[in-house]
């Protein structure tokens, strides 16, 4: 009898403290709905197929080929049964999860989702929200945060750090009232493009996204920075690698057109100056750029080739 009583009390306490809820996500072409879901530790998520051939992949990012680095990995087989369960997963590890559909190009077409798993112990005081915002048909934390985001263009971080003013003085922040809904929400990091390699000569400690512009030191001791060579205008521009529509002259020595190649007129230009010199012993019959196109007026700081009447060829450049 004592054992039965102990088991009953233990089951009751455990059930109350760690109540488990099941959430449903619909999957179709090409979406997960809802795409962003917030649940509690121990909750179950079931993905339902609305139509098409889909899976649930929380392991390797289909677009980048890199790991999602989720608190725990999960993935399913693909299926095409309308109304069927694609996958069911119990989230026992709190944290932020990303996932996508790995079938074909579904992920790149927008079939991605995320799940925030709140650790047990947080609490959303929905009754407080309803008491103060019920007149606006806002009855819980999730609705209030969504309202601030959609109506006032707040970020999730701004919504969670709102104190109610000027509408009402709450005397605290929304994050203090809506602990679960705001758990894991942090201030967005501003995207700064630049060189993130600490050993590069133009390392930018403020850069958060590497844009392929990390430079190299040439033999003259000068920092040579990658650039984009425009074939049409025969000009260079110092832009992000992703924005270059011409030839990218970068720091990868396996590329034909890299900073240290013979094609780059700037490499070692700080201590070696090449000028075009008229030679009395032979005559120039033709000049061509590095793409083999005939030119008549060489452009400063860009290499070109001189073909002489005796069949010899020399590489030259006019430095300005």
DSSP letter (8 states) at residue 81 = -
Output the average pLDDT for the chain.
Answer: 85
Specify the pLDDT at position 5. Answer: 32
Interatomic CA distance for residues 48 and 239, integer angstroms: 45
Please give the CATH architecture assigned to the domain spanning 17-118.
Sandwich (2.60)
Specify the pLDDT at position 275. Answer: 40
Alpha helices in the chain (DSSP H): 2-17, 126-133, 141-152, 156-160, 174-177, 179-182
Q: Give the residue carrying structure tokens 């002259």.
A: 249
Specify the pLDDT at position 12. Answer: 32
Q: Per-residue pLDDT tens for 199-229?
A: 999 999 988 889 999 999 988 899 999 999 8
Q: Per-residue pLDDT tens for 95-154?
A: 999 999 999 999 999 999 999 998 877 889 999 999 999 988 999 999 999 999 999 999
Specify the pLDDT at position 4. Answer: 32
Residue, of 64 and 11, whose pLDDT is higher: 64
Interval 5-15 mean pLDDT: 32
Q: Per-residue pLDDT tens for 155-194?
A: 999 999 999 998 888 999 999 999 999 988 988 878 889 9
Interatomic CA distance for residues 226 and 68, integer angstroms: 30
Q: Answer whether 109's CB lies under 8 Å from 28's CB.
A: no
DSSP letter (8 states) at residue 191 = P
CA atoms within 13 A on the CB side of 81: 9
Specify the pLDDT at position 16. Answer: 35
Q: Is the pLDDT of residue 1 over 50?
A: no
Q: Per-residue pLDDT tens for 261-309?
A: 877 888 887 775 444 444 445 666 777 777 777 776 667 777 777 777 7
Q: Compute the radius of gyration of the chain from its Cα atoms.
A: 31
Specify the pLDDT at position 199. Answer: 92
Specify the pLDDT at position 282. Answer: 65
Percentage of the chain exceeding pLDDT 70: 88
Interatomic CA distance for residues 274 and 318, integer angstroms: 6
Q: Could you tell me the CA-to-CA distances from 302 to 24, 100, 235, 298, 317 in Å, in that order?
A: 61, 47, 8, 8, 6
Q: In the chain, which segments carry CATH 2.60.40.420?
A: 17-118
Sheet containing 284-289, strands listed edge to edge, beginning at the edge strand earlier in sequence = 284-289, 304-308, 313-316
Specify the pLDDT at position 59. Answer: 97
Q: How confident is the model at residue 231 (pLDDT cuts 50, 70, 90)?
A: confident
Q: How confident is the model at residue 81 (pLDDT cuts 50, 70, 90)?
A: very high
CB atoms within 10 A of CB 139: 15
Interatomic CA distance for residues 215 and 95, integer angstroms: 37
């Amino acid at each position: 009898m004592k054992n039965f009583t102990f088991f009953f009390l233990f089951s009751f306490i455990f059930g109350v403290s760690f109540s488990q809820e099941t959430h449903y996500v619909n999957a179709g072409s090409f979406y997960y709905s809802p795409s962003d879901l917030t649940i509690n530790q121990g909750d179950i998520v079931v993905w339902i197929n609305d139509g098409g051939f889909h899976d649930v992949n929380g392991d390797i990012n289909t677009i980048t080929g890199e790991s999602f680095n989720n608190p725990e990995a999960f993935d399913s087989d693909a299926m095409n049964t309308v109304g069927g369960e694609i996958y069911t997963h119990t989230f026992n590890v709190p944290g932020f999860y990303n996932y996508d559909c790995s079938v074909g190009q579904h992920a790149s077409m927008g079939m991605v989702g995320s799940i925030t798993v709140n650790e047990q112990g947080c609490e959303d005081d929905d009754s407080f929200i309803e008491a103060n915002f019920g007149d606006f048909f806002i009855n819980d934390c999730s609705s209030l945060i969504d309202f601030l985001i959609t109506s006032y263009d707040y970020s999730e971080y701004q919504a969670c750090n709102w104190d109610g003013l000027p509408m009402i003085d709450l005397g605290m922040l929304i994050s203090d009232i809506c602990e679960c809904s705001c758990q894991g929400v942090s201030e967005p990091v501003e995207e700064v493009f630049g060189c993130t390699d600490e050993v590069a000569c133009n390392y930018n400690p403020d850069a958060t996204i590497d844009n392929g512009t990390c430079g190299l030191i040439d033999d003259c001791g000068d920092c040579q920075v990658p650039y984009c060579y425009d074939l049409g205008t025969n000009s260079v521009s110092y832009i992000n690698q992703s924005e270059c529509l011409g030839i990218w002259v970068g720091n990868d020595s396996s590329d034909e057109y890299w900073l240290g190649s013979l094609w780059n007129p700037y490499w070692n230009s700080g201590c070696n100056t090449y000028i075009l010199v008229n030679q009395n012993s032979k005559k120039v019959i033709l000049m061509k750029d590095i793409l083999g196109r005939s030119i008549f007026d060489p452009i400063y700081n860009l290499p070109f080739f001189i073909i002489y009447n005796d069949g010899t060829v020399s590489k030259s450049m006019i430095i300005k």
